[in-house]
Amino acid sequence: MRGKLAAGNWKMNGVAASLAEVESLVLSMGRPTCEVLLCPPATLIHRMSVVASGNIKIGGQDCHAKTTGAHTGDLSAAMLADAGASYVIVGHSERRQDHGETDAVVQSKASAAITEGLVAVICVGETLEDREAERTLDVIAAQLDGSVPDTATAATVVVAYEPVWAIGSGLTPTLEQIGEVHDFIRTNLNARLGTTEGDAIRLLYGGSVKPGNAAEIFAVSNVDGALVGGASLKAADFGPIVDALSNA
């Protein structure tokens, strides 16, 4: 049985006062049967890890592929781990689009994260243009092949499917579309990594996940959790998503 993971990506949101939401989440969620992860801005990683008190895992939103060097403004995986992170998101569509990150760059970051003992949450997803042109599975296949390291295991990698057109838009693919892509990802990982690892790697869905649609999404084949954006900022929104996954 694969473990379930409810992950929240705070993106460029959150200051010290926002940690009150984490305290509320810890108090309200009790003992969920799923793993819970929050990825705040780097400025909050250490403080959030203290507030979470081990009840919630903490992750970074990106890392550099190098351990040290002249890379002003970047953070290495080792630095994130030192601050209290145990996960890191790599290859998010906003990084791919805003910073021109290629699959090769994403793979190098994932490998760096694994080397430093972090679990890499590798994001893949198609644009609306890709979806309308019926290129979705081709795009996902290319991103998986280029972004997931050959050394990936269930202990070191999570794959998150986030259709770019659904992120923050309020739009959500149909359950059939979500299932099709997640089943495809599972088949791809099995073929490449073998069924022992391919079947064990957790697959998350992301893109306008909310308390109102979480339960039906978690019932879809090969959906092992969610990578949640805006709804992870407030305990009142993220808590019910955690509950829905615990009960899935």
Give CA–CA dist 244/238, Å, rounded: 10
Return the axis-axis angle of helices 19-29 and 235-246, rounded to nearest 10°. 30
Structure token pair of residue 197: 């690892």
Catalytic residue among 21, 92, 101, 182: 92
Whether the Cβ atoms of residue 167 and residue 128 lie closer than 8 Å to each other = no
Whether the Cβ atoms of residue 61 and residue 74 lie closer than 8 Å to each other = no
State the DSSP code for 72. T
Structure token pair of residue 192: 């490449």
Distance from the first to the final alpha carbon of the chain: 13
Give CA–CA dist 163/144, Å, rounded: 14
92 belongs to the catalytic site: yes
Structure token pair of residue 215: 């339960």
Catalytic residue among 21, 126, 162, 197: 162
Residues annotated as part of the active site: 92, 162
